[in-house]
Structures are given as C-alpha cells and as structure tokens.
A and B are shown apart, each in its own frame.
Chain A
Amino acid sequence: MFLDLSEEQKLIQDTARDFAKAELEPVAASLDQGDDRSPLLNNLKKLAELGFMGLNVKGEYGGSEAGVVSFSLAITEIARACASTAVTVSVNNMVAEVIQAVGSEEQRNAYIPKICSGEYAAGGFALTETCAGSDPAGMCTQAVDDGDSWVLNGSKIFITSAPYAGVFVAWAVTDKDAPKGKGISCFLVEAGTKGLVIGKEEKKMGQHASATNEVIFDDCRIPKSALMGKLNDGFRIAAGELAGGRIGIGSLGLGVGLAAMDYSTRYATERSQFGQKISNFQAIQWMIADAYTELEAARLLLMSAAYRKEAGKSFAREASMAKMFATEAANKACYKALQMLGGYGYTQDFPVERYARDARITAIYEGTNEIQRVIISRDILKNFS
C-alpha cells in the first residue's frame, strides 16, 4: 500500500497552499464582514487562470486533468484560508464535471471552457427547492415542452454563486405522472435568459462572501438543445454528481477544521495562565490530540474516496462517509479551538469564530449528514439482505 502523494499532487497542494496564504487569507476576514465581493471575484479569476476550476476536467475543455485527489487537496488548502472561496471553487468544479459527464459535445464546448478559464466567475447548481431539500425528487419546478423550446416555471433556493454564475445546471419535472424521481430532467440555463430571475440573497450564519440566492424561473424559455443528458434521467444525474461534490465539501470541512486547530494550538503555546502556557494543561492537550486525530482520520477517508473516484471504482459510499466524518470532525475541531481561546475565541478579533460559523454549514449542504447516513447504511444493508 502506498499512501504518499505523487510529485504532481504535492506541487498542486503547494501551489494551492501558497496562493491561499498569499492571496486568500489576507482578505478572508474582511470578506466575511463586508459587503464588497470584488476581492472574492478577483481571486476566483486568478484561481481559474491557475487551473483550479477544472481540476478533474479534460484538457480539451480547458481543464487541468489533475484528478480527484488533487481536487480534494486543493479544496482543503483553499478552505484553510477562506471557506467562501473554497465552496465556490468546489461547486464550479462540480458544475464543470457534470457537464463533462452528461452534456453533449456542443454543450461541453459551449460552457466548460468558460467555467475553467474564469470567463464565467462561477457555475450554478440549481437543484434544491423550498419543498425539496433532502428529498430533491419531490421538486415542483416544471419544464414544459413547447415546440422548439422548453418553458421552465418554479423556484430554486440556496443556490451558491447565483448572482455571478454564467450558467446554471437546473433540474425540473418533465413528466409529472412518472413515478417519483423518474420524471425529472436536467437543463442548462444561461445567465441573462429572459425569465431567469436571481432572487433574494440569504443572510447566512457563515461563508458570507459566497452568495446564496433564490433562483426563479418565470416562464423561462430555453432552447430544446438545453436539455442535458436523457429526458427524465435528471434525478440519476443529480445523485451521481452530488457524490463527487461530497468529496469537495468534506475536503472543505477538513481545511476549516485544520485552520481552527492550527490557530488555537499556536495560541495555546503562547497564552499563559496560572504562571504557565495553557498547552501544559492536560485538558488542552487532550483537545489537541482528539481534534487532530479526527482530522487525520477525515483526511484518510477523503483520500480513499478521491482515489476510488479517480481510479474509476465505485465511490458513493466512501464519499458519503468522508463528507459526514470530515464535516463533523471539522465542527468538533472548531468547537474545541474556540474553547481553547476562551472569551477571545468568541470575538471577531480572532478568526476562530469565523471558522466555527463557516464549518457549521458543511454538515448540512451537499446532502445533510443525516442523508449521508441513509446513503451509507442503505449501501451496506443491501449486502446483508
């Protein structure tokens, strides 16, 4: 068994780390607290130029062909500095990958290079609805066949990067009489299409720099050629692509957890109470030991899932395990890190409260961790029945 990274993977990790430290970390706190999103958009453009928007995308579409392990490593390093940037990069990669996986050659050539090059600041993944969160097959948005076009009506919620996405992968019901999940199709909707309305932005607990909006389809007419994949096959596409996205979100959680623990551990070696460094106290030592052990376990789960996807093996169960474990390890790490800083950890003078807010959503989005447990247990139980 060989657990070391290749030289290319190490170089990509180093590049992501160096870029994150030099460009992302200095603006992360002000992005969290301010309304000006231009530093985020500038950095997204630079990341695209370096090849971070299509890590697992073929070179012919403008991707880097660096693979899934590199994708995971890059997201972790970016998230150590700025979770909002990391989630945008993760979603952009997922959108590029879904178009590569199921799009026609024309669709791939039309959209993937624009995502990879940064011509589009972002891509949107428009699946969730107010009535269809953990149960996406229960969606209400409809697409009606109208001669040479499809007409979409309905609304999506919690759509990452919606105000600056150049294209949306959007799901809608195309056969409302079909059994649940069998009548949903997947479409590509360009920003600026008449009837595509970017709705209100959510005021969130964390990851403030990443916009999360409602997206409304109001008699939104798109060409017949905007159907992606087969008619009524959209739910299967969504389920498959979300599995890959989970590696991204798990990696993001790992990055935030590591950032929190690195900060608090350094703090513990500098902060004195009772005449000695607080890192001398066993209570602090155990927090350090527990958090880093869990984060290391998370890293190994993520590497296993990423390796399996890259090698063309089944990976949905492993991706769910990694996402669930890593994001919970990250939340626990942030809790401990904040505790180690005491009252200072609760103030905005230190970054740990931001890490704690940014980490919280990772246990919810890209499939709640409860849904991950459903996926994992279902996959295990089928071997026992």
Chain B
Amino acid sequence: MKLLVCIKQVPDLESRFKPDAAGVWYNETDLAFRMNEYDEYAVEQAVRLREQLGEGCELTVLSIGPDRVVEAIKKSLAMGCDNAAHIQDAAAYSKDPWQIASIISAYAKERNFDIIFTGMQSQDRGSAQVGVIVAELLGIACTTTIVNFDYDNGTITAKRELEGGIKGVVKLKTPALVTCQLGLNVPRYPTLPNIMKAKKKEITAISVAELLKEESLAATTSFHPPAKKGGGIVLEGDIADQVEKVIAILKDKTAVLR
C-alpha cells in the first residue's frame, strides 16, 4: 500500500503582509513559515492510516517550494511519514493551482499511490483547487472537505462537511484522493526524539523543471494586503437572537460546536 500526503508551507497568518516588488504576491522577508493548517490534518490522517496498516505500507510526503519548505517536510517525517519528495522551486508562489496540480500529478503518475491526502486548501492562496485537479489528472476518485476518515480493504468511508454544519458520507474505492478539513483530527506534536530521527529519513530532491510541463492558466496579476482590521462583528437584536447568532457563527466558522 502506497500513501502520499501533499503539504505546503505558508506564512504565520498573524504576520503583517506587504506586497512583493512585482506586486503579485506577498513579500517573504521576515515572515515566519509553518505547515499549512489543513495539511497538518492531512499528515495526521495519513500517519494514522500508516499506523493502522503497519508493515508493507509506505507513506511519502511531498512539498513544492524553496529550501525553507524542508522544515515542514521534516515536521511531517517527525510525525511519522517514511520518506519525502522535495520538489525544488524557488518560484512556487507564482504558480497557479493548475501548474501545482500538474507537478504533483506528474510526480505521482508512475508511482501508483493508493491514497493521496491533501489539505482542503492553503491558508495563503486558498484556491481549494489543487487536490481535485490532481485527482482529475490522475483519473482517480476524489472527495473534499472530509471531517472523518475510515479505511477498510480498499474502501474509504469519508464524512464530508457541507454548508451550515450539514454532513454527508461518501464511499470511495481506492485509488482515491481526499482533501482534509478542520475537525478531522487533532494533529500530534512531533516528539523530540522523532524530530532528531527524522534527520536520517530520505528526502529526495527533484527539480521542478523535470515535472512541470504546463503553462499557467490563471496567473495572479496583483496582490493587496488586508485592510486594517475592523472592530469585529457587532451582534444586534434581543438577547435570544444574539445567542442564536453566536451559536450559528460558532457552528459555521469554528470547530467548537461540531
């Protein structure tokens, strides 16, 4: 059984963002980077499945980007991935979801992964397209925004989140790809001995030029930093209405009431 989990390194969202010199993306100088939150759920779920399947299962983590993404790769290895592919690309930020998905599918095509895990979306670009395009390019089944995952004998049973807190259950035969949503699991902290042992795990470096054959289809042409934060949401009406509104927001936007 071969598993792949795709991760992205993104800036800490509490950072102050400024446009880069070309005005098409944010300036990376002085930003602190960490693993995309949704990808942490993907790694955790992939590692749990790896542990469930035991010997004979191999879990690869893949990330596209400059040298700094090795830190996120090493975190995944410390969490329990077996080996890694670092697609070296100093200009990954300029690629659109189509190109990123093309790179991943070009890597995955000959390797015949049974299950591919990705985050639901990245916290910086937020297109939520990469996972589904990878599945389409590989011609495999796909479901998105999963909040529960079970695997048994070639079949995935995934609970999906729909709008307004409604859930749906989907069954998929492998090979398949799932995109992971908040609430799926609580990612483990990597233990310190595992962080040190991850140094010995193999990270295969591959130049992006070997895998990328596609032109951009939807290039970002300008970047705007967020406007200054307002005063939050002010709820109005009588107390009962306000309580209902708060509960609706908590259900819809957070994991508190799931």
Contacts and interface: CB of A to CB of B under 8 A. Distances in A.
A-B complex: 4 closest residue pairs judged by Cβ atoms: A51-B192, A64-B192, A7-B71, A51-B191
Interface string B105-138: 0000000000000000000000000000000000
A18 interface: yes
A64 B196 contact: yes
B189 A11 contact: no
Given A8-B199, A14-B34, A51 B193 contact: yes
A195 B92 CA distance: 67
B191 A50 contact: yes
A11 B193 contact: no
Contact of A8 (B34, B191, B195): B195
Contacts of A14: 34, 75
B74 interface: yes
A238 interface: no
A327 B75 CA distance: 32
B70 interface: yes
A200 interface: no
Contacts of B196: 8, 64-66
Given A7-B70, A7-B71, A7-B74, A12 B189 contact: no
Interface size range of chain B in the complex: 10 to 19
A15 B193 contact: no
Interface in A32-79: 49-52, 55, 59, 63-66, 70
B88 to A, nearest CB: 15
Interface residues of A, number: 20
B43 interface: no
A10 interface: yes
Q: Among the interface residues A50, A52, A63, which one has the most CB atoms of the partner chain B within 10 A?
A: A50
Q: Among the interface residues A7, A15, A63, which one has the most CB atoms of the partner chain B within 10 A?
A: A7
Contacts of B189: 15, 18-19, 50
Main secondary structure of the interface of A (DSSP, over half): helix
Contacts of B208: none
Interface in B68-119: 70-71, 74-75, 78
Given A64-B195, A64-B196, 9 more contacts: A8-B196, A8-B199, A10-B71, A12-B195, A50-B191, A59-B193, A63-B193, A65-B196, A66-B192
B78 A11 contact: yes
Given A7-B70, A7-B71, A7-B74, A12 B191 contact: no
Nearest to A10: B71
Main secondary structure of the interface of B (DSSP, over half): helix
18 contacts: A8-B196, A10-B71, A11-B71, A11-B195, A12-B192, A14-B75, A15-B189, A15-B190, A18-B189, A49-B191, A51-B191, A51-B193, A52-B192, A63-B193, A65-B193, A65-B196, A66-B192, A66-B195
A335 to B, nearest CB: 27
Contacts of B195: 8, 11-12, 15, 64, 66
Interface string A1-30: 000000110111011001100000000000
Contacts of B71: 7, 10-11
Nearest to A22: B189
Nearest to A63: B193
A143 to B, nearest CB: 36
Interface string A164-206: 0000000000000000000000000000000000000000000
Contacts of B198: 8
A51 B188 CA distance: 14
Nearest to B67: A7
A18 B191 CA distance: 12
A105 to B, nearest CB: 21
Contacts of B74: 7-8, 11
A20 to B, nearest CB: 11
B190 A64 contact: no
A50 B70 CA distance: 21
A50 B192 CA distance: 6
Nearest to A53: B192
Contacts of A70: 192
Contacts of A12: 192, 195
Contacts of B75: 11, 14
Interface string B149-160: 000000000000
Contact of B193 (A7, A10, A19, A64): A64
